[in-house]
Amino acid sequence: MVVGNGIAGLTAADALRDAGFDGELTIVGDERHPAYSRPALSKALLRDELDAHELPAPTHGATELLGVAATGVVPQRRVVQVGGEELPYDRLVIASGSRARRLTDDPGEVTLRGLDDAFALRERLATRPSVVVVGGGPLGMEVASGALASGCEVTLVSQGRPLITQLGRHLSDLFTTSALEQGLTLVETGSARLDGPSRVLLADGAALEADLIVTAVGDVPNTEWLAGSGLARCGALEVDHRGLLRPDIAAVGDVAALPTPYGTRRIPLWSSAIDQSKVAAAALIRGEEAPPLSIQPYFWTEGFGLSLKAVGFMPPSGEPEYVDGGPGGPALIRWPGAAAAINYRIPIPRLRRAAAA
């Protein structure tokens, strides 16, 4: 059984079949939609491509229970609780993902996490409201870029320099400079909180008002449904190098914390979810004969006229080396253990080799 119908759950189901599992397979997912490309929601779909999120039809042949949530698991009896019923399993993949972190308990707070969020936000941006985006990470920057492209007046509220925590000073400066040149208003503050649906209060007491406020302040792994199972430690699902919590249960994707050279951590990236799911599915079938996961995160973002592909653990350390190109144009950049391509067409395997060089 697979709990979660995002890319991690979809990949796990496909990988189980690839590993030789030909038995009954069930996927339980609380979203009513089939699996889709989540990265597209804040990029192409938000701008102009209504089908950018669509993925090929699955071939795993699983029974899909969509729009229903798993509410518990009892490992001792190998059952998952779903809608008042207990569904048995022999092997279980937990791929329940994460949800948007919120600044308030108000259900009207606008966030972008799922497909319905994206279509609702796209519809609101079409009326060209004034917009404040709270959050200077990749998602906040992508939403701000999409809002600008829709003709909106946009202010980004960031705790420090945008993207600096995720990408480091050099890449942060490139994106911030381009954003400001395209008309983004940037407000750096120590903290921000919402004061109703159209007002943001900053650390210094100043207030910003807008027709639309979107918060993009991180995510929260969906582990509450596992309370009492003994699988989560302090709310985290800490897996081994093969993605296993125990020999018959794997956790993959945004919900899993895995060993890395920098300690046990979540790596909530699209490509990481795919890589984890393939390894974990093989481990459920083959045990210790399955190869462990080799982590080399791949991340991409785009906005304000820039497209970035990055490989390695970010933010990078040290000064950047321009392998090809230079500041102000397409470039291939390298740091110890990491590499990035800015508006630079390069196959991912070559980018990985540049990071490892």
Contacts of 138 (CB under 8 A, 6+ apart): 163, 166, 299, 301
DSSP state of 336: T
pTM: 0.95
Domain ranges of the chain: 2-100+219-289, 115-215, 298-356
2-100+219-289 and 115-215, same CATH topology: yes
Question: pLDDT tens digits for the chain (357 residues)?
Answer: 999 999 999 999 999 999 999 999 999 999 999 999 999 999 998 887 778 899 998 999 999 999 999 999 999 999 999 988 999 999 999 999 999 999 999 989 999 999 999 999 999 999 999 999 999 999 999 999 999 999 999 999 999 999 999 999 999 999 999 999 999 999 999 999 999 999 999 999 999 999 999 999 999 999 999 999 999 987 789 999 999 999 999 999 999 999 998 899 999 999 999 999 999 999 999 999 999 999 899 999 999 999 999 999 999 988 999 999 998 899 999 999 999 999 999 999 999 999 988
In angstroms, rounded to a whole number, what is the distance separating the alpha carbons of residues 343 and 236? 36
Decide if domain 115-215 falls under CATH 3.40.50.960.
Answer: no
Structure tokens at 215: 């918060």
CATH number attached to the domain at 2-100+219-289: 3.50.50.60
Contact (Cβ atoms closer than 8 angstroms) between residue 309 and residue 346: yes
Can you tell me the distance from the alpha carbon of 254 to that of 272, in angstroms, rounded to the nearest whole number? 9
